[in-house]
Structure 1
Amino acid sequence: MEIFDLFGENIIIEQQNEKNKQLRSEKQQIKNELHKQKRKKIKQQKYELIQTLETQEQKNEYVHSFKGLRNQKRENGIKSLQSPFKIIIDCGFEENMSDKEQRSLARQISELYTENRKIDGPLKIYVTNIYPILHKYLEQYHYKQWSLISDERLFTEIEELQLANIVYLSPDSEEELLEIKEDEIYVIGGLVDKVIIKNATLNRSRQLGVRSAKLPIGQYIKKNYKKCLNVSTAALMITGWLKYKDWSKAFDSVVPQKFKDQEAEMQ
């Protein structure tokens, strides 16, 4: 009877896992369909707006403005591969994340790539330690077509990075990063943790034997548990500093409004 119950329980668990897998697949299909509908709606809105313009010259100018933006993003993508300023997204935290958090990581990397293409001085991005599950989620964004370096290896195993001056960004580091230097490459931990894991990136830097430093945001966000920026925001803080040479202005330009709202409530 106990053996039967054991096997019966295993069958129930397998059935439940299969149902969950099917449910996730259905949810993704719905999201993809909604995305297609949104793109179609935007296209229709552009078409309707063009019809309201009086002259052909105005219509041509409107169309060229969108083509110019697309061309600029394409050029910035190519420019990023030649940039002297480099960052690494270290995706070596698979065991610390749930499936939902891993999907969120893929989305954040996609957001970073999108934002980086809009910047006049884009960063050269390395996404390393890409494991099979993350690869599956990144594939939904067609990441193999992106203008960046993606690799399944740990960044310390990549030849062109082995002699580099590496700085691993960690909110738990004792050293503050005062400036961004061309001869340094900054590592951002590819970790999405809804419940913050203390010292995760700091321990990672020690394990790999590389220097660690933290972004100087403590004076802007007072509560410790809110000092962990997500992957895309941390990277854009670097581009913000390169633009303004000022961490305060970099913070104001790229950090989500919710962080500023939280700070205002505490004052």
Structure 2
Amino acid sequence: MAEDSVKSEAPAQQKNENGENKSSQKAVSSNGEAENQTLSKRQRKKLLKQQKWEDERELRKQRRKERKQQRRLQRQDDEGGDGQSFRKRPRREVTPSSLRMVVDCSFDDLMLIKDVRKLHKQIQRCYAENRRALHPVQFYLTSLGGQLKQSMDEKDKGWVNWKDISIKTEHYSEVVAKEDLVYLTSDSPNVLEELDQKKAYVIGGLVDHNHHKGITFERAKELGIEHAQLPLSSFIKMNSRKVLAVNHVFEIILAYLEKGSWQEAFVTVLPQRKGAVAVDQDGTNAQEKEEEDSDSDSEPDATEQLEKRA
């Protein structure tokens, strides 16, 4: 009986030409059909599209290579065949300045993390602008630590490789001699007329949204160091407070070193939302004055008109 049962099971275990069990093949086939039946029309279309994309990968790669070659040949034709790329703009002759700019990062505990991240972006902008400036300054970042360092480590790990910058954990008063320091603060009664190349100008690294008014001025007085404000009122009329972002102050100094004009520096750097308008030395709006001069030139006054009629 046992032998008969083995023989009866043998046909069920017959294999096909590929050595696969027929019964298992049928099961796989039925599973495949079941899977196809469970896919929606959209899913099947998506799979076909994906398969087509994969099949054409090499073709796309070849086309990109051909287009790149064509652009290279076109550039050589435009340049007269000398092979030099006209995309590289001639680098301006850079003359480093001996002036020092310090961003004071000792206000870390007074800011929320969102404000610290804004300060981080402003410092990134200062670094980038100084690297491309015609007269780059000696850039110092002091009192680095706490939330700011954490943000820099998380968002910009490459900061440890920054060039042409001195990054210190110490306070700026421990890095630069006090007699060389000038704190730039809008609350100072002193107006900065000229830049002294021997000085180190400090910018408060604080994004406070008016929560800590006058704190940089008070810190400067406590340390007994010089302080001054940029001559905004003498050259610019604004529709907002004179408190500027760290990168704006930094960029204004760089622009002044290049242009030699406070007014040009302010107009070039300050964003339109600040409503900055150039004014003459007598305090009048330069734009309005031009319009008035234009009106007076085009329309003679009433006395002249009466004389002509007479």
Does residue 146 (structure 1) correspond to residue 162 (structure 2)? The answer is: yes
Change (3 A) 1:114 1:50: farther
The answer to whether residue 104 in structure 2 is matched with residue 90 in structure 1 is yes
Max radius of gyration: which structure? 2
Q: Distance in 1 between matches of 2:69 and 2:193?
A: 48
**Cα distance in structure 2, aligned partners of 1:88 and 1:240:** 17
Tell me if 1:55 matches 2:74.
Answer: yes
Match of 2:32 in 1: none
Give the 3 Å change call, closer, same or farther, for CA 164–126 of structure 1 in structure 2.
Answer: farther
Cα distance change, pair 106–172 in 1 and its aligned pair in 2 (3 A):
same
**Partners in 1 of 2:273 and 2:253 — Cα distance?**
20
Q: Which has the higher helix share?
A: 1
Q: Does structure 2 retain, via aligned residues, the 8 Å contact 1:173–1:202?
A: yes
The Cα of 1:258 is off from its aligned counterpart by 1.7
Identity percentage of aligned residues = 27
List aligned pairs for 1:118-267, cutoff 5 A. Answer: 118-139=132-153, 140-141=155-156, 142-147=158-163, 148-158=165-175, 161-162=176-177, 164-219=179-234, 220-222=236-238, 226-260=241-275
Q: What residue identity is the alignment partner of 2:167?
A: S
Cα 1:49–1:122 shift into 2, 3 Å:
farther
Please name the residue that 1:65 is paired with. 88
Q: Distance in 2 between matches of 1:254 and 1:144?
A: 28
Q: Work out the CA distance in 1 between the residues paired with 2:98 and 2:140.
A: 13
Cα shift at 1:196: 4.8
**Secondary structure of 2:196's partner?**
coil
Query: 1:132, CA displacement in angstroms?
Result: 2.4
Q: How many residues align?
A: 208
1:107 aligns with one of 121, 127, 132: 121
